[in-house]
Amino acid sequence: MKLTLKIWRQDSAQAAGRFESYSLDGAGEEFTLLEALDKLNDTLVETGQVPVSFDSDCREGICGSCGVTVDGVPHGPIANTPSCRQHLRSFTDGSTVTLEPFRSGAFPVVRDLAVDRSGLDRIIEGGGYVSIDAGTATDADAHQVSHETAEAALDFAACIGCGACVAACPNGSASLFTGAKLMHLTLLPTTRQERGQRAVGMTEAMDEEFGPCSVIGECVEVCPAGIPLTAIAGLNREKLRSVLRGKAS
């Protein structure tokens, strides 16, 4: 199929960006979006031009490295699917597809379609970990966790940290990410000693670089991990709990 790719080109964080159009010929419908970019880059390199920068790693939807904005939608036209799993069959032959970086005040452009999402890492640094020496695996029954709780924790743990929720949010909020990263720990008994301070630390780190949540819900439309808005209510609940309780646990 034949597509016109209108791609955001920007040489550095400081440089002004611009759109440039490229025509892509001979890509198959079964190509992923990133494979289409690979193909384009091959031609650009062959003709002595600078290839388009973009992030990716696993290309199977588990690492969270990829992420471009496609026709204004973070990740692409298929809901809840990362850029690496978006396919050209979503586009009509001959159409123009606009590719931009993830847009957010907290995600400075590194180059072209690649952005700096390290703000999300700093939220994790705020408390998204468990500081106990886990040692070897304990007996399976040492901690009684109900099946539902374990499943819920696993569902929140599915967040791949791609940042699409931030890019989708009109407030530039990272609440869905932070809620997922907080709740998957909070639900499990082994993380209890730091429950309060984790909620405070992660919320503070989040507020330093990201916006407040107005429960608009655009994030859940794009999240490739299917994290529900409940994560955000959980984040607020944990913060409220820590304020009322005033303890680290």
Partner 1 sequence: MSSRARTTARRPLLSNFVCKTVMALTGLIFSAFVLVHMVGNLKVYLGGEHFNDYAHWLREAFEPVLPYEGLLWVLRLALLASLAGHVACAALLWRRARVARGPVRRRHAGWRSFTARTMPVTGLVLLFFVIFHVLDLTTGTAPAASGGFEAATVNTSHAYENLVASFQRPLAGLFYALAMIVLGLHVAHGLWAAANDLGATGRRFRQVAVVVSGVVALVIMLGNISIPIFVLIGVLK
What is residue 187's three-state secondary structure? coil
84 binds ligand FES (CB under 6 A): yes
Long-range pairs for 60-64: beta carbons < 8 A, 24 or more residues apart: 60/84, 60/85, 61/85, 61/160, 61/224, 62/160, 63/160, 64/160, 64/161, 64/162, 64/163
The C-alpha atoms of residue 12 and residue 236 are separated, in whole angstroms, by 36
165 binds, among ligand FES, ligand SF4, partner 1, none (CB under 5 to 8 A by kind): ligand SF4
For partner 1, which stretch binds (CB under 8 A), given 35-43, 86-94, 155-163, 235-243? Answer: 235-243
User: Closest distance between ligand FES and the C-beta of residue 240, in Å?
Assistant: 33
Contacts of 105 (CB under 8 A, 6+ apart): 172, 211
232 binds partner 1 (CB under 8 A): yes
Bridge partners for 109 per DSSP:
115
Nearer to ligand FES, 33 or 205 (CB): 33
Sheet holding 73-74, edge to edge: 18-24, 3-9, 96-101, 68-70, 73-74
For partner 1, which stretch binds (CB under 8 A), given 58-66, 80-88, 89-97, 231-239? Answer: 231-239
For partner 1, which stretch binds (CB under 8 A), given 47-55, 83-91, 139-147, 208-216? Answer: 208-216
Nearer to ligand FES, 53 or 193 (CB): 53
- Return the structure tokens found at 83: 């850029």
Among 17, 61, 77, 172, binds ligand FES (CB under 6 A): 61
Binding mask 1-40 for ligand FES (x = CB under 6 A): ----------------------------------------
Nearer to ligand SF4, 112 or 155 (CB): 155
Binding mask 60-89 for partner 1 (x = CB under 8 A): -----------xxx----------------
Alpha-carbon separation of residue 59 from 72, 131, 206 (angstroms): 21, 31, 28
217 binds, among ligand SF4, ligand FES, partner 1, none (CB under 5 to 8 A by kind): partner 1
66 binds, among ligand SF4, ligand FES, partner 1, none (CB under 5 to 8 A by kind): ligand FES
For the chain, list the strands marked E by DSSP. Answer: 3-9, 18-24, 68-70, 73-74, 96-101, 109-111, 114-115
- Return the structure tokens found at 111: 């180059």
Binding site for ligand FES (CB under 6 A): 56-59, 61-66, 82-84, 160
